Amino acid sequence: MCHAFLNDSRFYRYLFLVDQEVASDVQSSGCPYCGGVLHSACYPRKPRGIRSVLDSSYKTRLSFCCAMEGCRRRTTPPSIRFLGRKVYLGIIIILVTALEHGLTPRRRKQLMEKLDLYPQTFSRWQKWWRETFPSSRCWQAEQGSYAPPVEIKQMPGSLLGRLEGDHLKHRLCLLLRLIAPLTTTSCSRSLRVVINPQKM
Answer whether residue 199 is part of any domain: no
Total domains in the fold of the chain: 1
Residue pLDDT, tens place only, 7-48: 888 899 999 999 999 999 999 999 999 999 999 999 999 998
Answer whether residue 171 is part of any domain: yes
pLDDT at 197 over 60: no
Answer whether residue 52 is part of any domain: yes
What is the domain range of residue 118? 4-190
Dihedral of CA 174/178/182/184: which sign? positive
Answer whether residue 197 is part of any domain: no
Answer whether residue 30 is part of any domain: yes
Residues in contact with 156: Cβ distance below 8 Å, sequence separation at least 6, in sequence order = 94, 97, 98, 129, 133, 175
Answer whether residue 49 is part of any domain: yes
Answer whether residue 200 is part of any domain: no
Residue 116: pLDDT band by 50, 70, 90 thresholds?
A: confident
What share of the chain in percent tops pLDDT 70?
89
Report pTM: 0.86
Looking at per-residue confidence, does 108 or 66 come out higher?
66
Contact indicator for 67, 51 with CB cutoff of 8 Å: no
C-alpha span between 92 and 97 (Å, rounded) = 8
pLDDT at 155 over 90: yes
